[in-house]
Amino acid sequence: MDSASNDVIVRVDTTSRSYDVHVTPGVITRAGELAREAAGGENAFIVSDTNVAPLYMDQVRTSLEASGYTTSQFVFEAGEASKRASTWAACLEAIAAAGLTRDDVVVALGGGVTGDLAGFAAACYMRGCSVVQVPTSLLAMVDSSVGGKTAIDLEAGKNLAGAFWQPRAVIADPNCLKTIPQDLFRDSCGEVIKHGVLADPSLFDDLESEPLTSEGVPAERLARVIARNVEIKRDVVNADEQERGIRQTLNLGHTIGHAIETASDFALGHGTCVAIGLCAIARAAAAEGICDPEVATRIERVVDAHGLPTDTRLPHDVIVNLAMSDKKRHGDGVNVILPTRIGKVEIRRVSMAEFARLVDEGCGTARIGFAAEDQSQSSVN
């Protein structure tokens, strides 16, 4: 906590760069000041999408200009379908046309797609210029804006082209969550639950006792949960910046989840698919004797309580085939993250045949119903 500004700050110290994550209601109004302190430069190039730009572009641009920046912007069509090479190339061309140098700053204003796209553009422009992340979704605040992973999707799969490029600062304003649709907020809770299963039984207990999707969640609790999630990711990233070891644990639920997300043609949100993948791998771990069945049951119940689906009816061969194109595959196998108890996981290298067995044990085997019938039907896609 910064006593001068009452700004909640989480410090990230990686091998390549150290930076602050600011988690405080109203902090977006200080975007220019914080970007100036962290990144410097004369020009600020704002990247946003068609959903977020009408809400926050003017506010952020005004703040940047008040701090001495000359601003320009690039706005793309909202949605995962835009996280492709064509949009990324158009963004780079716009950055170049704006006359940025490697001493200037790209400001990523939006959710995970914007942060990934803008971060990757900054990583590549003139072999790397500064980026400041201003996440406006819960998913981006607790996950994608922190840690330096940037990427775009290819036809073969999600996030297959990208770079590790740490931001100069992250400006996460919980007030922005008031303007996102409830279904997007609910989707984001998948990553929050994952962090509790991964590393923090107390966080999981908190989510179990009162879901974040309950009515009237105090802003103070939301800010506290966001900051705790950032701390969990910070600790992992600090120890393993480029995912050679422990950082792979952040992929809990992702191998199955990414396959479901791709199979749905991204109609299902990332957090929703992570939640399904988390439940599926927990059921498989229980079937293998790696965790107690009660662990899987508790995870299912918390996911269900947040209004998220706990299973998929997608054919198992489709999941396995899509996982073979996942960036986490290694040779003829894949590293899977398995929960051993709430707050503890292990990394295990398995063959694709063994992975297929885990899919059989975990998918289509839920012991409690889907959160809602429409979600269960969409999970089939």
Instruction: Enumerate the active-site residues.
Output: 127, 149, 191, 233, 243, 247, 251, 254, 258, 270
d(CA 300, CA 296): 6
Greatest Cα pair distance in the chain: 59
- What are the residue ranges of helices labelled H in 240-343? 254-263, 270-287, 293-305, 316-323
Are 86 and 129 within 8 A, CB to CB?
no
Q: What are phi and psi of 111, to 5 degrees?
A: -90, -160
- DSSP letter, residue 142: I
What residues contact 209, with CB distance under 8 A and at least 6 apart? none
Contacts made by residues 368-374, CB under 8 angstroms, sequence distance 24+: 368/297, 368/300, 368/301, 368/304, 368/310, 369/304, 370/304, 370/309, 370/310, 370/311, 371/303, 371/304, 371/306, 371/307, 371/308, 371/309, 371/310, 372/307, 372/309
d(CA 127, CA 103): 11
Look at the alpha carbons of 50, 222, 38, 4 in this order and tell me if their dihedral is positive or negative: positive
d(CA 184, CA 92): 28
Encoded tokens for 308 = 């998220």
Of 381, 233, 248, 224, nearest in space to 327 by CA: 248
Encoded tokens for 322 = 């899509």
What residues contact 56, with CB distance under 8 A and at least 6 apart? 28, 48, 109, 134, 136, 176
3-state secondary structure of 154: strand
What residues contact 357, with CB distance under 8 A and at least 6 apart? none
